[in-house]
Structure 1
């Protein structure tokens, strides 16, 4: 059809998706570019191309195409955001982090200066733009983002206020009548099986029903068994997918005392909603462990074990340090081992180091650590589950020590949860990432009794695994710096007896970590205090 010139933009898009599903990346991008050449005002073709170029590590190309999209669609605010605020998903070196942070900082100033909200059309265009994007990748530069988050949050707030002025006015705290319960609302796009909210089920499960009434607002649309748990643990459960005005109206109508966003910064609609004032007290938690920068979010519900002494400096919200890790994480079901290493093309003679984080959590200044471990543990195999974009960096790091990275790094595709758990059970050591540590992945590895090597960072998002191991009571594998991290990882690789001892101790202490009710009591004490102070 394309050769006969009978195509339209829809045909180019559909054909590109066929190539994408077949993992034919060059043909995928080429088809999108051809479609844009013929249909330069088709926003979907531009958007898809830019987002996936960035996702595949082709950042400058993505920015160039965002520039082009702005020329073709000058009134589409989406492409203004992408032009000014695109940062890489993967950094090739430390200098790139500095360069793109400066570019983002300057770009944000330009975007703010160029944003006009004087006409109805301008308001709606800006709303459409922020409804499609967040600045999610900024926080993977391992720096304190509070100032940039405040600036970005103020911009989103102004756009939302221009479109929904009725929802930015203050809300007074409902007077609590004798024997009346405090109404707590939880709103999220992810009330299903998802890393950013899975921990929330414990807060609801162990809720004090005598004093609290739980309202949940599910704004996504991928219901599953975890969604059913949220329904079971809620007094009122609203499923209102992809309809921001309807959710806002429902929240306001329910006359809550406190509204909690388990995560802010991952989903555009959630970010936009959070800039409104829908309840007298509004909180967020560490489903996305970054300050929101929003004046409309009053408290950040965190953990006493995760936060450094100076942690308030990282938050625009008032920091609340809940007991222990701050969440009541349900102990995962771990099946018996039903597969072998051979099923995954791995040898029983190898020392398997599991590297299971998303690729954007791996920063280039730490690549050499894996090479150092491999140099001292000849049988080492580093198992990456999502790390193909890291290969160029790994090649350089290993070559610096005279090693061939392909001899040590294995890249697996593990689509099924059973296989993911099998890899945990068959591995020898879990290597945590620096500056942004594992959350759910670490908790599941602990449930599999897999020894965890971690080194806590300065900011909370780099201290999850550290806090889990401290609460568990197995701290031997927490390193104070990079050198000790390497020493611990090497010893675990070379000393199977010590490895087994660590694993055995972990297996005996699960009850300390999982299904914690102490943090729930601390959370509810905070809720009561806030309502009393605001009444």
Structure 2
């Protein structure tokens, strides 16, 4: 029991949940007052909360139980230094060093104490000793550089800071100190560059812009400055200035092509993200005139797609363009030459075919075509990870090793939806490995870490990730989402486990020859679903997930808090704006014509330019019927989760998107008893809401075509009794959505069956 409590306490501590960790350590000490590690870690909980007297009491308690190990004296030194008892702190650190002569952190902290005392020479000596023992800690170099600055040894300080920067290239403190150092030697251009970088990595974009502009007055050829300056403008939504920055970079580099490809790629990406699709295509064409053989530009040019479409003919036009250029690109690309492998790999590392899946078509053949192409590129670069892997001889008592990989083990739809697979895993039969491909942790990340036997975090490094997965000798590797992140798509093109699966985090077939199975909920799939996948389809019972009942707050806000009218029927449609296809805008108009008090509420895209384009499209659709969209449509800013739930409680009716429906958003709306109109389509991604409604037996609002959609939406808007009846039915039946273990059982049965085949 103590071991379990200690593991839980450490997990809470690592996640920064101080009160929960404190409670667990106190429980341990109540059971065993001589638990040295619990006393020490409890002291660190107090220390992190600046409760220094309590921290010292705990550290002394740990020391009384064990005075033979360096760590006890080291922690005591931290507490003493925090209370400015520097003499005692020095003694504690020296004792830690006496017991462990190679503990670099102890030398570093001892140096910090001497710095506080103004004894620079002593501090410098200990910092150098720390670096001698551990040359990979950027903080050691940073503090040493600060000492050298204080001693007016500016040149030496710059050398040391640059060594620190090699270890931690985005550390704003190191960058700022370099700015200070270059200011001291009157190199204002270099100082401005480093001050700009420091502000940039702290998301202080206005300050960064000022510094970068100052730097460019002298260093007009620095591509990195142009890229970061343009990115700063984008972050604060000053898109014309960002475009001008890219133009300026191209003009300044007219006598040299070095770095221009990177500028062009960033410029094209910006234009696509703000919905200027044709402008993006034109810039790509111009770039290809200068660099006709660059594969990155060719691939970028091929997969430019709009985020929003104006009409159906646009969808068909861009889809055909995408298909034709993909075929051409594959034909023209030499995949056999090892000399091409590096640039081909770099080209596929930036984007996926994400927006293709939002056109409302079956993407199987295009996905297979691109998936094969991607696999061949990866194959050239990493032949060691392509060969089939033999399945190990599985014995009945062996634990099956399952690996889950994602870029979204965080507060994201993917992370939220699939956590139950780990939380309710049968750990007697399975050993769980998680591979988190980015380094952006939050509370949900901590839960994934807690429920994993092994949890890895990476700095988006394909080779590190592949080596780790391959070395773990998994039985089954499951990609929770494929198609949103370029890195995981590349990794999925390798063969790192004998069995590789994709889940429906992004609900479309991968088309990759290296993915054997596609795991999907049975209720969301049509009868002929296998024909939509290149993988073998595995249908899990019900919704396929273990989903806990969400905590829905009491209604605290009113319509006026969201700027909504008091006398309207609120139709809430809160999907990402790129899910709304133009041919269905007329549905809103038809509802408005029959429900005069209708108010359609949407949530903005993260990019205000895209939101405005959507607003203008609605305006045109309503104007075609002599109506003013502003009388009926409200687009709210992006909301915090609490406000989003309040909005669901306030709304009268939910309107689902057609061809690519909601899933987690639908579960949230159902939790708020909101009736949702949805059109059940052919593909799984158009049937998600319908599957959820079928699960709770509320089929009255599931329709098969646009005419039925309008009819049921109007009925809900005009017939309050019918609307309340549906709300009541949802309230009565929704409990079946929560804590359903059938999906977990189905998943684990599949794992057991497939491993023994």
Equivalent residues in 2 for 1:371-386, closer than 5 Å: 371-386=589-604
Deviation at 1:223, TM superposition (A): 0.9
User: Which residue of structure 1 aligns with residue 239 of structure 2?
Assistant: 25
Shift of 1:489: 1.1
- The yes-or-no answer on 1:360 pairing with 2:575 is no
C-alpha contact 1:354 1:430 (8 A) present in aligned 2? yes
- Over residues 459-483 of structure 1, what are the superposed CA-to-partner deviations in whole Å (9 max), with x where a residue is unaligned? 1100000000111221111112211
- TM-score between the two structures when normalised by the length of structure 2: 0.68
Kept in 1: contact 2:338–2:380 (CA 8 A): no
Map of 1:49 onto structure 2: 267
Give the 3-state SS of the residue equivalent to 2:542 in structure 1.
Answer: coil
Map Cα deviations across residues 74-133 of structure 1 (whole Å, 9 max, x no partner): 454321111112121111111111111111111001111222245444100000011111
**Aligned twin of 1:184:** 402
Structure of higher CA gyration radius: 2
Rounded to whole Å, the distance in 2 between the matches of 1:382 and 1:189 is 33
TM-superposition CA deviations, 1:19-53 (whole Å, max 9, x none): 33333333332332232332364344322221121
Match for residue 398 of structure 1? 622
- Conserved 8 A contact 2:681-2:704: no
1:197–1:263 contact (8 Å) kept in structure 2 = no
Say which SS state the counterpart of residue 389 (structure 1) adopts: helix
- State the distance in 2 between where 1:242 and 1:391 align: 36
Partner of 1:472: 696
Q: CA deviation at 1:5?
A: 6.8
Query: CA 1:180/1:98 → structure 2, altered by over 3 Å: closer, same or farther?
Result: same
Higher relative contact order, structure no. (Cα contacts within 8 Å, ≥ 6 residues apart): 1
Residues 56 and 389, structure 1, Cα contact 8 Å, conserved in 2? no
In structure 2, the residue matched to 1:319 is: 537
Q: Which runs of 5+ in 1 are unaligned?
A: none
Shift of 1:396: 2.1
The answer to whether residue 715 in structure 2 is matched with residue 517 in structure 1 is no
The 1-side partners of 2:691 and 2:734 are apart by 14
Deviation, structure 1 residue 434: 0.5
CA distance in 2, matches of 1:4, 1:219: 38
Query: Does structure 2 conserve the Cα–Cα contact (< 8 Å) formed by 1:76 and 1:129?
Result: no
CA distance in 1, matches of 2:696, 2:428: 31
2:262 corresponds to 1:38: no
Pair 1:116-2:334 in alignment: yes
Taking structure 1 as the reference length, the TM-score comes to 0.96
- Which of these residues, 361, 365, 375, is aligned with residue 147 of structure 1? 365
CA contact (8 A) 1:282 1:296 kept: yes
Aligned to 1:71: 289
Aligned CA distance change for structure 1 residues 422 and 47 (closer, same or farther; 3 Å) = farther
Q: Which residue of 1 aligns with 2:647?
A: 423
* Cα distance in structure 2, aligned partners of 1:307 and 1:211: 29
1:281 counterpart (499, 508, 514): 499
SS at the partner of 1:334?
coil
Cα displacement (A) at 1:322: 0.9
Q: 1:48–1:496: structure 2 CA closer, same or farther, 3 Å change rule? A: farther
1:272 CA drift (Å): 0.6
Higher helix share: 2
Q: Hey, what's the Cα distance between the residues in 2 that align with 1:447 and 1:48?
A: 41
Find the aligned partners of 1:309 and 1:224 in 2 and give their Cα distance: 39
Q: 1:174 to 1:432 in 2, by over 3 A?
A: same
Q: 1:196 to 1:389 in 2, by over 3 A?
A: farther
* Alpha-carbon distance in structure 1 between the residues aligned to 2:268 and 2:656: 31
Listed as ranges, the matches of 1:206-245 within 5 Å are 206-245=424-463
Counterpart of 1:199 in 2: which secondary structure? helix
**CA deviation profile, 1:160-217 (whole Å, cap 9, x unmatched):** 1100000000101111234211111111111111113321111111111221111111
Tell me what 1:102 maps to.
320
C-alpha offsets along residues 375-415 of structure 1, whole Å, 9 cap, x if unaligned? 11111111111243312321222112210111111111124
Determine the structure 2 residue equivalent to 1:170: 388
SS at match of 2:402: strand
Cα pair 1:300 1:320 within 8 Å, conserved: yes
